[in-house]
Structure 1
Amino acid sequence: MKVRLLLTSWFKRYGDGKDFLEIEVQEGSSVEDVLKKSGIPFDEIGFVHSGGKLKHMSEIVADSEELKVFTRIIGG
């Protein structure tokens, strides 16, 4: 099944300038599985949303689901 990973500006470098990646995963895969296949380092990821709701790494994704990945919140 395919999951679309929407990339915010910080992460577009992992999508060759595109604002999304299409990730092929097996049915029953989790958010963490999708992110592992994306190649985005986990230490750069702050949180993931889908449908306006926070997704936990262990949650199972659905076919054609869109996940949006955000950076960690930093400031000074």
Structure 2
Amino acid sequence: MKVKLLLTSWFKRYADGKDFLEVEVPKGSSVEDVLKKSGLPFDEIGFVHLDGKVKRMSEIVSDSEVLKVFTRIIGG
């Protein structure tokens, strides 16, 4: 099944400047499984949204789901 990741500006550099990545994962995969397979640096991911709600890393994703990925909040 395919899951689409919408990327915030920081992550676009890992997708050749595109706004999204499509990740092919087996049925029953979790949000964490999708993110790890995406090639995004997992330690830089802050949280993931689906329809305006935060998704836990352990939640199972559905085919054609669209997740928005945000970076950790950093500052000085």
4+ residue runs over 2 A deviation = none
Aligned length: 76
Report deviation, 1:14. 1.1
CA distance in 2: counterparts of 1:52 and 1:12, whole angstroms: 20
Counterpart CA distance in 1 for 2:49 and 2:6 is 10
Deviation at residue 75 of structure 1 after TM alignment: 2.5
Give unmatched runs, 5+ long, in structure 2: none
Work out the CA distance in 1 between the residues paired with 2:15 and 2:41. 13
User: What is the aligned-residue RMSD (CA, Å)?
Assistant: 0.7
Q: Which amino acid aligns with 1:17?
A: G
Structure 2 match to 1:13? 13
Q: Percent identity?
A: 84
Please report how far the alpha carbon of residue 32 of structure 1 lies from its aligned counterpart in structure 2 after TM superposition: 0.4
| Distance in 1 separating the partners of 2:30 and 2:70 | 17
Taking structure 2 as the reference length, the TM-score comes to 0.95
- Structure 2 equivalent of residue 55 of structure 1: 55
Normalised by the size of structure 1, how large is the TM-score?
0.95
1:15-72 Cα offsets, whole Å, 9 max, x none, are 1110000100011000001001111111111100011100011000010000110011
Structure 1: gaps of 5 or more residues: none
